[in-house]
Structure 1
Amino acid sequence: MTKSPLAIAWLGTGLMGAPMAVRLLEHQYQVRVWNRTLAKAQPLERKGARLSSGPKEALADANILVTMLSDFPATKAVLSELDFTGKTLIQMATIAPEESRSLAQMIREKGGDYLEAPLLGSIPEAKSGNLIIMIAGKREVFNKMRPVLEILGSELHYVGEIGQAAALKLALNQLIASLTVAFATSLAFVETHDIAADDFMKVLRKSALYAPTFDKKLPRMQSHDYTNPNFPTEHLLKDIRLFLQSANELDSTALEAVAKLYQKSATDHQFEDYSRVFEAVNLKDGK
């Protein structure tokens, strides 16, 4: 079967994967999609994607494979069945540095090229092509894949060797976890002292302590509504565990405490937004 230079196989059409694949469709790429849960991939067919019965079919006439699967075990299981001769894998899910190096070796042994390209951003950025993408691997492979990545992200940062972009991504997600707990704790504290959240935020916004994520999560914490998440708690918990797994040379006591709060928050609510950690912090109104 003739391979089209515009054909891309896309594995993983979840919260982030689906809108990212749509971006490629909007730019005239032929996208062959596969997802373990077929229902999550079917809406893409209406937008012009071709549904594949499995990863092998998706990759059959494509030169590029993009993976946005749930974790390393799922990614490795799928990739181990594929032939990568003359093809390139762009692995965009959040995995540990050592896991990414393992995948890179496997792809090389299968005759292909490998880029790790984890991203920072949420569903709105995925839809608009404004993700921040961190890339590691051979620079010549990055240069070849740049046109695809530029459709997905407005900021591309080439980091260096395989594993380094994965490490950078975990460092940033650790900040997401820790900042949100810190903000939730301060918000709960001022509320217990009958200080209006508006007064708290007016001071905070004018200070060097402010981060835009605080205003993004404030409405959820005030309404106690964590449904329809951009980033579910279970995903952030997975990333915290990956950070801890890769941080053998650090004192991770503080992050371990943060992880316990997210674990508490996730009990029976793992699919809700990670800002639900406010309920774990707030013993007065915690749910």
Structure 2
Amino acid sequence: MTIALLGTGLLGSAIATRLLACGERLTVWNRNPERGQPLVALGAQWASSAAEAAAEAEWLITVLNDGPTTQAVLIDQVGAALQGRRVLQMGTIGPAESQQLADAVAGLGGAYLEAPVLGSRPEALEGRLQLMAGGPAELMEEALPLLRQLSQEPVHLGPVGTAMTTKLALNQLIASLTHAFSLSLHLVQQGGVAVEPFMALLRSSALYAPTFDKKLQRELSGDYGNPNFPTAHLRKDLDLFISAAQQAGLNSEGLSGLAALLQRSSAAGLDGLDYCALHQLTAGQTAAARPE
């Protein structure tokens, strides 16, 4: 296969590294050329524009920041070069945005499959992403040899929009579980309860989720560097979930406080840090007085 990948951020670069390790011919492009150089060193070809990257590719993978950016790159920059191309859109965007993008790609003669993933850099490098796809069943079949290099069991959920809906539902749980655990951890520490007895009780209960232990040491030490999924992306995805929920007629008022809390992450310097840095935001004014 000849593959072009647009967007070499944290996830995109890991996906590209995995594909190169699998022996695929890969061309990469990023708005910041420096972010593509490690992949060039691994054997990727560098394209000076998104259209140039797409020109010879059978498959075009996008892993870009958001819906508007993906629309601008695919439709405005690649444009007519989408003729005959098959697009795997792996960035997390809104279901309605994805449907609009699929229509625009089809209007330019291309085919579109949304393929967001659960997992981050470590899982991508090992081909263990949980990949969900939305789009035509026949296109899913064509994509399977490629998708199976990234995911052991890619799941086709239905038409365009279904995979993005599922991805947002899962990422809402990331935000809500992290927020809930952070508050509980702060409260028990403020109350003079040792962390390990609290965790032992939690682990043996139906309330436990593995993500609590996964983020515990980061939250205890305040070390949020080297993120696989930064706080800014969590905020963006939660906002997308709330928008999709409202469009579906659901009552998402319970998430408004968390969304407002995450809006403070930019001013607090947390946007580029691991998403569990929201633990700093939940600490409020009592953080300095917290018992060790």
2:84 is aligned with 1:86:
yes
Equivalent of 1:28, from 17, 20, 23?
Answer: 23
Deviation at 1:220, TM superposition (A): 0.8
Q: Is the 8 A contact 1:278 1:286 kept in 2?
A: no
- CA deviations on 1:179-201 (whole Å, 9 max, x unpaired) are 00000011011101111111111
The match for 2:272 is 271
2:232 corresponds in structure 1 to 234
Which residue in the other structure is 2:10 paired with? 15
- Residue in 1 that maps onto 2:62: 67
Letter of the aligned partner of 2:276 in structure 1?
Answer: S
Which amino acid counterpart does residue 274 of structure 2 have in structure 1? D
Structure 2 equivalent of residue 259 of structure 1: 259
> Which segments of structure 1 move beyond 4 Å, counting only runs of 4 or more?
none
Matched, 1:160 2:158: yes
Partners of 1:98 and 1:25 in 2: CA distance: 32
Quick check: 2:232–2:265 contact (8 Å CA) kept in 1? no
Unaligned regions of 5+ residues in structure 2, if any?
A: none
Instruction: State the alpha-carbon separation in 2 of the partners of residues 208 and 40 from structure 1.
Output: 43
For the residue of structure 1 that corresponds to 2:263, the secondary structure is helix
SS class of match (1:220) = helix
Give per-residue Cα distances to partners, 1:70-89, cap 9 Å, x unaligned.
11111111111322222100
CA–CA distance in 2 between the matches of 1:184 and 1:264?
16
How far 1:66 moved relative to its partner? Answer: 0.2
Partner of 1:169: 167
Which residue pairs with 2:115 in the alignment?
117
CA–CA distance in structure 1, aligned partners of residues 261 and 217 of structure 2: 20
3-state DSSP of counterpart to 1:172: helix
Give yes or no for contact 1:87–1:113 (8 Å, CA) kept in 2.
yes
How many residues in Structure 1 have an aligned counterpart in Structure 2? Answer: 282
User: TM-score with structure 2 length normalisation?
Assistant: 0.94
CA distance in 1, matches of 2:103, 2:148: 26
SS at match of 1:269: coil
SS at 1:272 equivalent:
coil
- Check whether the contact 1:120–1:132 (CA below 8 A) recurs between aligned residues: yes
* 1:1-24: CA deviation from partner (whole Å, max 9, x where unpaired): xxxxx1101001100110111111
1:50, CA displacement in angstroms? Answer: 0.3
Task: Give identity over the alignment, percent.
Answer: 46
CA RMSD of aligned residues (A): 1.2
Q: Does the 8 Å CA contact 1:13/1:35 hold for their aligned counterparts?
A: yes
- Unpaired segments ≥5 residues, structure 1: 1-5
TM-score (norm 1): 0.96
Partner of 2:283: 282
Residue 253 of structure 1, CA deviation: 1.2
The SS at the match of 2:154 is: strand
The 2-side partners of 1:38 and 1:252 are apart by 40
Alignment partners' CA distance in 1, 2:164 and 2:32: 26
Question: Residues of 1 paired with 2:218 and 2:102: CA distance?
Answer: 39
**How many Å apart are 1:286 and its aligned residue?**
6.5
Q: In 2, are the aligned partners of 1:7 and 1:29 still within 8 Å (CA)?
A: yes
Structure 1 stretch 240-249 or stretch 126-135: which is displaced more? 240-249
Residue 255 of structure 1: CA displacement?
0.9
Native 8 Å contact 1:226 1:273 kept in 2: yes
